[in-house]
Amino acid sequence: MAVAGEYADGQSSRVVPATLSVTGSGIVIQTEAGTKTYPADAVTISSRLGKTPRYLTFPDGAQFETPDNDGIDELLAAQVGRSGLLHTLESHLPLVLIAAIVTVLSLAWVVTVGIPRGADYIAHNVSQEVVDKLGANSLQLLDRTVFEPSELPTDRQAEIRAFLQPIIDRHSNVSLHFRAGLPNAYALPDASIVLTDGLFDVLKSPDEIKAIVYHEIGHVEHRHLLRRSLQGSAIAVLLVLVTGDLSNFDLLVGLPALLVDLSYSREFELEADRYALDALAEAGMDVTDFRTALVKLTGWYDVDEVDDSYLLHYLSTHPHTEERLGQVLDDTQD
């Protein structure tokens, strides 16, 4: 039995038709120009891969290329050995189906449970010192780039500070800052909580403002910023592993990463809401203050522009207000 293919000596790009057979003295390559015999154990055979051709490389640098995969497997069974194991796995439909299901399920588990839990574990076992170092200067950086000084009168600032300070003081690392801007509140990596001037146009009652501050403290206490960057890195690594290489890191691969990151962000918002509700209850305050604060804030943005379509939900960093209010409602019924 012989296998037909092409023989190239590796010195020039010249390729000649050849046949390969196995005799007592070794592997015999026969071309128009003559025959060449190689010891049977000196050949390197590429592992089988789909319908791609098989390459046999000899010690003198010559190569025999053939599309006849079955012929090579049969003729050189001893040399091929178990290198065909992967091909077996890759070409059996039931095995591939099982692989597909296991892959999808394990990926789903990794994304929804594994990564968040791992990040949570790491974030809460990192010492406060490291967390401080990671977030150092984040307020200064934002002051230099996007934030503008608050235009709130100093007496109004003092008035707000007066009723928020007792809450802030209970968390040693947290600090409070006022800046200009549309109604919003931020928790920064250095545990600075930033309230914008716009916030006080929308929320007048101290209890509502306190509720929002509790929500931001929730982000700090749960180390959400650290967890989000850990989870983002993990997703990036996972995508590289799944798609094989970074060079194919195009929009189609980046989009799922973005959607997953945003869904993590929404989970953190709900967790911070949860924290705020518990803190309000503990302080003996009315949890509905949080509800009215949320409604007022969303109301303010709704008037302006926000297109609350179903599709946009997956592209937003915050959950739907109804979803967040659901949690509040559950709480009021307790």
Smallest Cα–Cα separation from 262: which of 235, 298, 294? 235
Minimum distance of another protein from residue 73's CB (angstroms) = 17
Coil vs helix vs strand at 19: strand
Nearer to another protein, 89 or 180 (CB): 89
CA dist., res. 23 & res. 272, Å (int): 75
134 binds another protein (CB under 8 A): yes
Work out which of 42, 180, 312, 329 binds another protein, going by CB under 8 A. 312
Nearer to another protein, 124 or 133 (CB): 133
Q: Count residues near another protein (CB under 8 A).
A: 56
HEC letters along 213-267 = HHHHHHHHHCCHHHHHHHHHHHHHHHHHHHHCCHHHCCHHHHHHHHHHHHHHHHH
User: What is each CA distance from 304 to 182, 233, 301, 317, in whole angstroms?
Assistant: 12, 35, 5, 18
Work out which of 1, 78, 241, 303 binds another protein, going by CB under 8 A. 241
52 binds another protein (CB under 8 A): yes
284 binds another protein (CB under 8 A): no
133 binds another protein (CB under 8 A): yes
10 binds another protein (CB under 8 A): yes
Nearer to another protein, 61 or 149 (CB): 61
Burial-class residue 22 by CB neighbours within 10 Å (0-12, 13-18, 19+).
Answer: middle
Q: Write the Ramachandran bin of 28: left for phi over 0, alpha for psi from -120 to 50, otherwise beta.
A: beta
In one-letter notation, the amino acid at residue 92 is: H
In one-letter notation, the amino acid at residue 300 is: W
Work out which of 1, 13, 144, 333 binds another protein, going by CB under 8 A. 13
Considering only residues 103 to 122 of the shown chain, the ones binding another protein according to CB under 8 A are 103, 106-107, 110
Minimum distance of another protein from residue 130's CB (angstroms) = 8
Minimum distance of another protein from residue 240's CB (angstroms) = 8
CA pseudo-torsion sign 67, 68, 70, 75: negative
49 binds another protein (CB under 8 A): yes
What is the bridge-based pairing of β-strands 16-23 and 26-31?
antiparallel
100 binds another protein (CB under 8 A): yes
Phi, psi values for residue 133, rounded to 5°: -65, -45
246 binds another protein (CB under 8 A): yes
Minimum distance of another protein from residue 298's CB (angstroms) = 16
Q: Which residues bind another protein (CB under 8 A)?
A: 6, 8-15, 46, 49-53, 55, 61-63, 65, 86, 89-91, 93, 96, 99-100, 102-103, 106-107, 110, 130, 133-134, 136-137, 240-249, 252-253, 256, 305, 307, 309, 311-312
